[in-house]
A = this chain, B = another copy of it.
Amino acid sequence: MTRHFSHALVVGVGMIGGSVAAALRAHGMAKVISACGPGDDPQAALAAGLIDQVGALGDLVGQADVIVLACPPSAMDQVLNEIGQHRGKLRAGVVITDCASTKQSVIASAHRHLGTAISRFVPGHPIAGSEQRGPGAARAKLFQGARWVLCPQVQTATDAQQTWTEVLAQWGCRVQTMPADEHDALYAAVSHMPHAVAFALCSALARSDQSQAALVAAGAGLKDTTRIGASDAALWADIVMDNRLAVRSGIMQIIGQLQTQIDLLDAQDRQALQREFAQASAWRRQLQD
Contact = CB atoms under 8 A, between A and B. Distances in A.
17 contacts: A74-B270, A127-B217, A130-B220, A185-B209, A189-B214, A194-B201, A197-B258, A199-B277, A203-B283, A226-B287, A227-B284, A229-B281, A229-B284, A233-B278, A240-B273, A241-B273, A251-B261
Q: Could you say which interface size class chain A belongs to?
A: 35 or more
Main secondary structure of the interface of A (DSSP, over half): helix
Contacts of A261: 196, 199-200, 240, 251
B258 A262 contact: no
Given A127-B217, A191-B222, A273 B237 contact: yes
A71 to B, nearest CB: 16
B195 A221 contact: yes
A284 B190 contact: no
B255 A259 contact: yes
A225 B207 contact: no
A99 to B, nearest CB: 14
Interface string A215-238: 101111111111111111110111
Given A262-B251, A286-B215, A287-B215, A237 B277 contact: yes
The count of identical subunits is: 2
Given A74-B270, A218-B287, A229-B283, 13 more contacts: A201-B254, A201-B280, A202-B284, A203-B276, A204-B250, A208-B253, A222-B287, A224-B225, A229-B280, A234-B278, A237-B273, A251-B262, A252-B262
